[in-house]
Structure 1
């Protein structure tokens, strides 16, 4: 199938799905003439139906249509075998009636079961075009075709859309009534805008006037503490700044005075002049 035709068929089936509640798998009612044509044209009926309808299908046939094939003798045995592979749709006819009349009675006036009709009968197709929401499929020169929507289908679609947009008086009465009118949304007043926060300079931190005095007092206390450690202890003891040796904790180490070259090695005695 060409891409253009496949797109058109997909769009057509979406119309039936959105407006009339069709869903996959599509229920396809096949008549006896369609079975014979598919055998003559050597077509795989189920596969062709899925290609045309752009989705999964469930082929169905009524007992009256199978009875028509039985009446035509053994020549139509391949068509009978094909029809037996389909799901049987009960038509509730005690005596077999012609296939066209059987399918028309199953569809009814509104097609409430949402059937797709695959038939080669021209008279049946003309009759079903007056029923809204009935997709019609037939074979034309070994090509399966999905007919465009009929006039009754388009009118039913427009009326359904109109009813949704403009409900009737009884439907309006069933809707919940609002006693208080809805308040209009308040409009936000536009006022002067502030400056751009990125272009505004940052505020300088406030300086405490007593902060310099505190810093000066702390520095003076620091210097006094340093002098105190150098001069006196808290008890008033004088510290020479030398650490006691490890050998004698209570003894102080005496420093020897170096003698110069002019000084004698020993002091003179007191009795010499």
Structure 2
């Protein structure tokens, strides 16, 4: 259970650090009611509070708190002796006020000094919940408890986060070049009137007949075919002549 409480307290403190600038040493304002509850529950505030918050702690109070405890007589003399061991913060008001009013005045409207408030005064804690960025602590069953952030604190944190996002977006827009800026500048060359290209006006050379791959091949083939036919006819005529000559000689030989 103790480990779980410490983890929860660490998570809450991280929230206040991120959104409201809470930092070590944690300044904790302790009033008379908290001192009395710690005395009854045998809680050593100086020893147990730093362990619970997981960091260095500076316990503070005001003269109005000590004055109020002193006015209540011997019943709260033990709590008064405990409060006198804490460092005094100068009151921001004139004269002496009840301890709750003095602490509310010290916190102000936005808690500029990042105080944590430890008190058993329920009415004062209720008023402080309406102020954003004020961590509150009290004692339950002899155990110190750090309260969860109030609704006003959560709303303020959300507004701060949105404001940071908007400002970051504006900075990014300023740093990101527009489409017109990203276009490269093209240097236009001055047009110069030139004469005709000598290669474009050069007369084309006539190709020799038969040099074409297709036409030349067809011509040579038809020519060779005609030559073969002519040779064949010549051989046939020559064979007929030889045959007739041989037949005539044969007839002469028989007649003789």
Same fold, TM exceeding 0.5?
yes
Match of 1:7 in 2: 7
Q: Distance in 2 between matches of 1:87 and 1:157?
A: 30
- Kept after mapping to 2: 8 A contact 1:52/1:146: no
Tell me the CA shift for residue 57 of structure 1: 0.6
Match of 1:58 in 2: 58
Tell me the CA shift for residue 168 of structure 1: 9.6
- Kept after mapping to 1: 8 A contact 2:32/2:69: yes
CA-based RMSD: 2.6
Match of 1:254 in 2: none
Match of 1:131 in 2: 131
- Kept after mapping to 2: 8 A contact 1:116/1:134: yes
Secondary structure in 1 matching 2:94: coil
Q: Distance in 1 between matches of 2:52 and 2:27?
A: 14
Task: Report the number of matched residues.
Answer: 183
User: Taking structure 2 as the reference length, what is the TM-score of the superposition?
Assistant: 0.65
Match of 2:240 in 1: none
Structure possessing the higher relative contact order (Cα contacts under 8 Å, 6 or more residues apart):
2
5+ residue gaps, structure 2 = 185-256
Secondary structure in 2 matching 1:43: coil
More divergent stretch after superposition (122-131 vs 46-55): 46-55
User: Taking structure 1 as the reference length, what is the TM-score of the superposition?
Assistant: 0.61
- Kept after mapping to 1: 8 A contact 2:6/2:52: yes
Q: Distance in 2 between matches of 1:93 and 1:84?
A: 20
Q: Distance in 2 between matches of 1:183 and 1:32?
A: 70
Tell me the CA shift for residue 176 of structure 1: 6.7
Runs of 4+ in 1 over 4 A off after TM superposition: 174-180
More helix as a share of residues = 2
Tell me the CA shift for residue 78 of structure 1: 2.0
